[in-house]
Amino acid sequence: MCGIVGILGQRPAAPVILDSLRRLEYRGYDSAGIVALDGGVMDRRRSSGKLSALAELLEAQPLAGTSGLGHTRWATHGRPVEANAHPHRAGPVAVVHNGIIENYLDLRRQLEAEGWGFGSETDSEVIATLCAAFLRRGLVPEDAAAATLARLRGAYALCLMFDGADDLMICARRGSPLVIGHGEGEMFVGSDALALAPLTGRLTYLEEGDWAVLTRRSMVIHDAEGRRANRPLHHLEAGDFLAEKGPYPHFMLKEIHEQPGVAARVLGSWTARGDGTVTCDAAGLGWARVPRLTIAACGTACLAGQVGKIWLERIARLPVEIEIASEFRYREPPLPEGGVTLVISQSGETADTLAALRYAKEAGQRTLGLVNVPTSTIAREVDVALATHAGPEIGVASTKAFTAQLLCLLGFTVMVARQRGTLDEADERRWIGALSSVPRLIAETLAAEPAIAAAAAGALAPASDAIFVGRGLMYPLALEGALKLKEITYIHAEGHAAGELKHGPIALVDATVPVVALAPSDGLFDKLDSNIREIMARDGRVLLLTDAAGAARLGEAAWRTIVLPDCEPFLQPFVQAVAIQLLAYHCALARGTDIDQPRNLAKSVTVE
CATH of residue 234's domain is 3.60.20.10
The Cα 295–Cα 357 span in angstroms is 10
The Cα 296–Cα 482 span in angstroms is 20
Q: Judge if 500 and 565 occupy the same domain.
A: yes
Q: Judge if 312 and 457 occupy the same domain.
A: no
* Residue 555 confidence (pLDDT) above 70: yes
The Cα 399–Cα 389 span in angstroms is 13
Q: Judge if 7 and 31 occupy the same domain.
A: yes
Among 222, 241, 260, the domain boundary falls at 241
Among 218, 241, 264, the domain boundary falls at 241
Q: Judge if 332 and 479 occupy the same domain.
A: no
Look at residue 272 in the predicted model and tell me its pLDDT: 67
At 161, which amino acid appears? M
Q: Judge if 371 and 462 occupy the same domain.
A: no
Query: Is residue 436 within 8 Å of 414, Cβ to Cβ?
Result: no
Asked about 2 being catalytic, the answer comes back as: yes
Residues of the domain holding 357: 248-436
Rounded mean pLDDT, 163-185: 92
Question: Is residue 421 exposed (0-12), middle (13-18) or buried (19+ Cβ within 10 Å)?
Answer: exposed
pLDDT grade, residue 525 (50/70/90)?
A: confident
Asked about 603 being catalytic, the answer comes back as: yes
Q: What angle do CA 357, 362, 364 make, to 5 degrees?
A: 100
Rounded mean pLDDT, 200-219: 93
Rounded mean pLDDT, 33-46: 96
Q: Within a 10 A sphere around the Cβ of 274, how many other Cβ atoms?
A: 8
Contacts of 77 (CB under 8 A, 6+ apart): 84, 100, 104, 121, 122, 123, 124
Look at residue 594 in the predicted model and tell me its pLDDT: 92
Antiparallel, parallel or unpaired: β 492-497 and 67-73:
unpaired
The Cα 150–Cα 135 span in angstroms is 15
When the pLDDT of each residue in the chain is averaged and rounded to a whole number, the result is: 91
Phi, psi for residue 2 in degrees, rounded to 5:
-60, 155
Antiparallel, parallel or unpaired: β 465-470 and 514-518:
parallel
Query: Is residue 75 within 8 Å of 30, Cβ to Cβ?
Result: yes
* Residue 242 confidence (pLDDT) above 60: no
Q: At 509, which CATH number?
A: 3.40.50.10490
Look at residue 90 in the predicted model and tell me its pLDDT: 97
pLDDT grade, residue 604 (50/70/90)?
A: low
pLDDT grade, residue 394 (50/70/90)?
A: confident
pLDDT grade, residue 339 (50/70/90)?
A: very high
Q: Judge if 389 and 471 occupy the same domain.
A: no
Above pLDDT 90, what percent of the chain? 68
Please compute, for residue 39, the number of CA atoms within 13 A of its CA located in the half-sphere on the CB side: 3
Look at residue 26 in the predicted model and tell me its pLDDT: 63
Please compute, for residue 276, the number of CA atoms within 13 A of its CA located in the half-sphere on the CB side: 10
Crossing angle of helices 572-591 and 474-489, rounded to 10°: 20
Q: Judge if 257 and 234 occupy the same domain.
A: no
Contacts 24+ apart (CB under 8 A), 354-362: 354/175, 354/378, 354/381, 355/325, 355/328, 355/329, 355/608, 356/296, 356/323, 356/325, 356/328, 356/329, 357/296, 357/381, 357/382, 358/329, 359/328, 359/329, 360/294, 360/296, 360/335
Look at residue 518 in the predicted model and tell me its pLDDT: 94
The Cα 111–Cα 108 span in angstroms is 5
> Where in 146-224 does DSSP place strands (E)?
154-162, 169-174, 179-182, 187-190, 202-205, 211-214, 219-222
Q: Judge if 206 and 336 occupy the same domain.
A: no
Above pLDDT 70, what percent of the chain? 96
pLDDT grade, residue 340 (50/70/90)?
A: very high
Ranges 19-23, 68-72, 75-79, 366-370: which has the least confidence? 75-79
Rounded mean pLDDT, 128-137: 97
Query: Is residue 156 within 8 Å of 356, Cβ to Cβ?
Result: no
* Residue 1 confidence (pLDDT) above 60: no
Q: Judge if 340 and 489 occupy the same domain.
A: no
**Domain presence at residue 441:** no
DSSP reduced 3-state for 410: helix
- Which of 20-34, 251-265, 405-419 has the highest mean predicted lDDT (pLDDT)? 405-419
Look at residue 128 in the predicted model and tell me its pLDDT: 97
The Cα 151–Cα 136 span in angstroms is 17
Q: Judge if 419 and 525 occupy the same domain.
A: no
The Cα 136–Cα 131 span in angstroms is 9
pLDDT in tens, 183-201: 999 999 998 788 888 899 8
The pTM of the full predicted model, rounded to 2 decimals, is 0.73
Query: Considering only CA atoms, which of 335, 345, 312 is closest in space to residue 413?
Result: 312
Q: Judge if 357 and 288 occupy the same domain.
A: yes
Rounded mean pLDDT, 429-439: 88
**Domain presence at residue 460:** yes
**Domain presence at residue 400:** yes
The torsion of the CA quartet 451, 457, 460, 463, rounded to 10 degrees, works out to: -170
**Domain presence at residue 594:** yes
**Domain presence at residue 210:** yes
Catalytic residue among 254, 400, 484, 603, which? 603
Q: Judge if 366 and 487 occupy the same domain.
A: no
**Domain presence at residue 442:** no
Phi, psi for residue 120 in degrees, rounded to 5:
-135, 175
**Domain presence at residue 308:** yes
Catalytic residue among 2, 131, 171, 567, which? 2
Rounded mean pLDDT, 495-510: 86
Among 219, 241, 263, the domain boundary falls at 241
* Residue 153 confidence (pLDDT) above 70: yes
Q: How many domains are there within the chain?
A: 3
* Residue 93 confidence (pLDDT) above 90: yes
Query: Is residue 123 within 8 Å of 153, Cβ to Cβ?
Result: no
